[in-house]
Amino acid sequence: MRRFSLGRWAASIVVTFAALAGVSPAMAQDDGLLPVTEAYKLSADTSTPGVLKLHWEIAPDYYLYRGRMNFKPGEGVSLGEAQLPDGEKHHDEYLGDVETYHHGVDASIPYTLAPGTDRLRVAVRYQGCHEVEPKICYPPHTEQLDLDLATASAGDARPTSLGAALGGLSGSKGSAGDGAPLPPEQAFRLEALASSPGQLLLRWTMPKGYYLYRDQTALTLKNADGLTLGKPAWPAGETKEDPQFGKVTVFFDEVDVPVAVQGSLDGRSQLELEASFQGCQDGGLCYPLMTRALSIDLRGGATSTGTAVAGPAPQARPVETPPASLGMSLVSALLLALAGGLVLNLMPCVLPVLSIKAVGLIESGESPARRRRHALAYSAGVLISFVALGLLVVTFKSAWGAQLQNPAVVAVLALVMLSVGLSMSGVVQFGASLANTGSSLANRSGLAGDFFTGVLAVVVASPCTAPFMGSALAYAFAAPALHALLVFFALGLGLALPFLAVGFVPAVARLLPRPGAWMETLKQVLAFPMYLAAAWLAWVLANQRGADAVGLLLVAAVLLSMTLWWFERSRYRSGGKRALVLVLALLTLAPLYYLARLPAIVSASDAADGYVPFTPEKLAELRKAGTPVFVDMTADWCITCKANEHAVLNTADFRALLDRTGAVYMKGDWTNEDPAITAFLQQYHTPGVPLYVVFPADGSEGRQLPTVLTSAMVREALEGAGKSAASAQAP
């Protein structure tokens, strides 16, 4: 049985395997399946004051899910808790333990009306499946009940929803099989919703034998000053030789197309979108250009169905829009990136590396030429490394800081920190043996060291995502390649800027202390932050691969120390004795080989820790149960994450706040690679961790919090989520 996916049709549909079926609603007629409104006939009764009674008549071989029923009041209406009978219990392949109804089911919902309200408006959502071949599950279906309380009677329910329209389409006739073309509204059904903040999702559904052109589509926002649309993210389609357009890309059955909205959405609850597109009946006629208007609810959850626009349609053309800036211009992103790079100079994971550079600048004394060479070489290492990382991100869409998910990289960095610390402690002197080969080679060696320091600073800086850095990187992840590389260049420039100022601005250089004997003591003191950085990386490695990995790292550290010790002792000895350095260096690599092959540590759920491990299925289950959820995406190598945990999340006040609001603390650990967490980060257009999202209990879209948390910010978000839940369940 072929299956299809509805895509990201709102956060609640993460658990909706609704469209698992290999049959779209438009194909149901051919397989003997009923339209959704005939498979589940809903009627309503308001004869009992204050109680809405619903009845579903369920056709044979069909069933409804108890847990997929949802009731939302209209204006002036408040609903109490729905009374539903127990269903038949069984384990579902996708939803876990569920209860289902066969043949029929009744529900009673108490309600109250605001003064002056004489109509009972309720949105009733449900989902069910066909349990014999062809086995399918219908998409979640919503019927809008609009009942006149003075005259309402059983059967007065009037479906007006997207689901009803899909159900009606199920019985459509005139597919490609019988040669009669369908009306355009049935042949090409267009729907849209706001799938996440700043992101729209458009869906075209076509019956069997119809296809949509990709490049004959144009999207336009109406009455939306200051907003533009990003380039539609079309999936891979089918290539077709078209007699009119030549080789084209087309889509059969259905296609989901994400589109970013650029600009500030503050104060907006709705967008007006106009879509022009064209398609054909395979082997039949090609439709003229169609234009549909859609009103999209930005609060999420509601799906808009396109309606035809009267009048002459505009000429079809591919959409050419500015890059997705996520609410900022390129200039703003560059300024934020520059500021973020400056902030990185103060981050604890970068300071040990910068201490090397500080000593080098002080040693340059009063020589402007040497200071400039130091600054330029270091800046070159920083800028080239940042641009290289930018190329990796643009090419492979990898996440920022993800290199520290690789235990071999972590181990190598720890050994580099150790070797630099030993050098600063005076155990070994790199480059001293070259002193007699001439000043030019000595200078070249020094510049190479400066360049390497810049590279190392970038590598260890990436986990320390600064507050300004997050927004700029988010822009870079969505922007065109050239804009993204400019952002990474600006980040590097910010990191290098203090040293460029020392090298090229005499007034700043004069602030440096005069060189003297005290510098050797300073250099030795600054070795200890390097040792601490190595210890921190060893701790990260322990959380990734366990105690065995730390043991192998310690063996490698001993072998490295032995290599450096013998390197120093054999500096002026014969070639045979110096060759032992190479042997010891190769032995140092052996523990790293075995370390890289160790399996990842799988953290078990520990209720004493006060959090629930993140999985998409568990998040969907909690949201379905009406539970507010605080999602924390973190990693052991993320310094900002640890600072937030210490200041806010690992406190008694936060635990009390969770108890008071009834929220669940869900944590995703991205210390090791996790595709589910990576997908969640991409959903919110974030370049890496930390990511904090608060999901209200009423099913609305999650609220993304800043990367640096405060207790007041978290309290306001969780209390708001609790109030949403309370209002949704108020009698």
Asked if residue 317 belongs to a domain, the reply is no
Residue with token string 């959850």 = 301
What average pLDDT does range 494-518 have in this prediction?
A: 74
Q: What is the C-alpha separation between 180 and 479, in angstroms, rounded? A: 45
Pull the structure tokens for residue 595: 């370390």
Q: What is the C-alpha separation between 428 and 14, in angstroms, rounded? A: 56
Asked if residue 252 belongs to a domain, the reply is yes
Residue 160 confidence (pLDDT) above 60: no
CATH code of the domain containing 148 = 2.60.40.1250
- Taking CA atoms, 325 is separated from 228, 268, 471, 705, in Å, by 10, 18, 10, 19
Asked if residue 360 belongs to a domain, the reply is yes
Q: What is the C-alpha separation between 696 and 12, in angstroms, rounded? A: 11
Q: What is the C-alpha separation between 276 and 289, in angstroms, rounded? A: 7
pLDDT of residue 373: 82
Residue 470 confidence (pLDDT) above 80: no
Residues whose CB falls within 8 Å of the CB of residue 530, separated by 6 or more in sequence, listed in order: 352, 355, 417, 418, 420, 421, 424
Q: pLDDT of 570-605, one tens digit each? A: 776 666 667 788 888 889 889 988 888 888 776 544
Residue 706 confidence (pLDDT) above 80: yes
Same domain, residue pair 494 and 566:
yes
Q: What is the C-alpha separation between 553 and 412, in angstroms, rounded? A: 9
Asked if residue 250 belongs to a domain, the reply is yes
pLDDT of residue 694: 92
| Between 211 and 155, the higher pLDDT residue | 211
Calculate the CA dihedral of residues 637, 638, 639, 641 and round it to 10 degrees: -130
pLDDT of residue 488: 83
Same domain, residue pair 562 and 655:
no
Backbone torsions φ then ψ of 658, nearest 5 degrees: -60, -45
Lowest mean pLDDT among 309-313, 322-326, 515-519, 651-655: 322-326
Same domain, residue pair 417 and 505:
yes
Same domain, residue pair 166 and 190:
no
Overall number of domains in the chain? 4
Pull the structure tokens for residue 550: 């730390």
Strand order through the sheet with 96-101:
88-92, 96-101, 62-65, 128-130, 136-137
Residue 9 confidence (pLDDT) above 80: no
pLDDT of residue 633: 92
What average pLDDT does range 222-243 have in this prediction?
A: 83
Backbone torsions φ then ψ of 681, nearest 5 degrees: -60, -40
What average pLDDT does range 662-677 have in this prediction?
A: 86
Among the candidates 170, 193, 215, a domain finishes at 170
Q: pLDDT of 350-398, one tens digit each? A: 655 666 566 666 555 556 777 788 788 888 888 898 888 778 766 655 5
Same domain, residue pair 556 and 428:
yes
Asked if residue 132 belongs to a domain, the reply is yes
161 and 122 Cβ atoms separated by less than 8 Å? no
Asked if residue 6 belongs to a domain, the reply is no
Same domain, residue pair 619 and 585:
no
Lowest mean pLDDT among 109-113, 161-165, 299-303: 161-165
Q: pLDDT of 58-117, one tens digit each? A: 999 999 999 889 899 988 888 888 889 989 988 876 667 889 999 999 999 988 888 778
Among the candidates 596, 622, 642, a domain finishes at 596
pLDDT of residue 332: 77
Q: What is the pTM of this model?
A: 0.43
Give 348's pLDDT tier (boundaries 50, 70, 90). low
Residue 537 confidence (pLDDT) above 50: yes
Instruction: Please give the share of the chain, as a percent, with pLDDT higher than 90.
Output: 11
Same domain, residue pair 592 and 618:
no
Q: pLDDT of 270-279, one tens digit each? A: 888 889 898 8
Lowest mean pLDDT among 48-62, 173-187, 370-384, 407-421: 173-187
What average pLDDT does range 630-656 have in this prediction?
A: 88
| Between 405 and 35, the higher pLDDT residue | 35
Residue 514 confidence (pLDDT) above 50: yes
Asked if residue 179 belongs to a domain, the reply is no
pLDDT of residue 167: 34
What average pLDDT does range 406-416 have in this prediction?
A: 84
Beta pairing partners, 290: 277
What average pLDDT does range 140-149 have in this prediction?
A: 84
Same domain, residue pair 109 and 198:
no
Domain encompassing residue 498? 330-596
Same domain, residue pair 334 and 390:
yes
Q: pLDDT of 429-446, one tens digit each? A: 664 433 333 333 333 346
Residue 159 confidence (pLDDT) above 50: no
Pull the structure tokens for residue 332: 């703003």
Asked if residue 611 belongs to a domain, the reply is yes
Average pLDDT, the chain: 74
pLDDT of residue 268: 77
What average pLDDT does range 644-665 have in this prediction?
A: 91
CATH code of the domain containing 684 = 3.40.30.10
Pull the structure tokens for residue 190: 């267009």
Same domain, residue pair 535 and 427:
yes
Same domain, residue pair 137 and 226:
no
What average pLDDT does range 51-63 have in this prediction?
A: 92
Residue 316 confidence (pLDDT) above 60: no
Same domain, residue pair 45 and 21:
yes
Q: What is the C-alpha separation between 356 and 228, in angstroms, rounded? A: 47
Q: What is the C-alpha separation between 718 and 695, in angstroms, rounded? A: 9
Residues whose CB falls within 8 Å of the CB of residue 714, separated by 6 or more in sequence, listed in order: 630, 648, 649, 654, 657, 692, 705
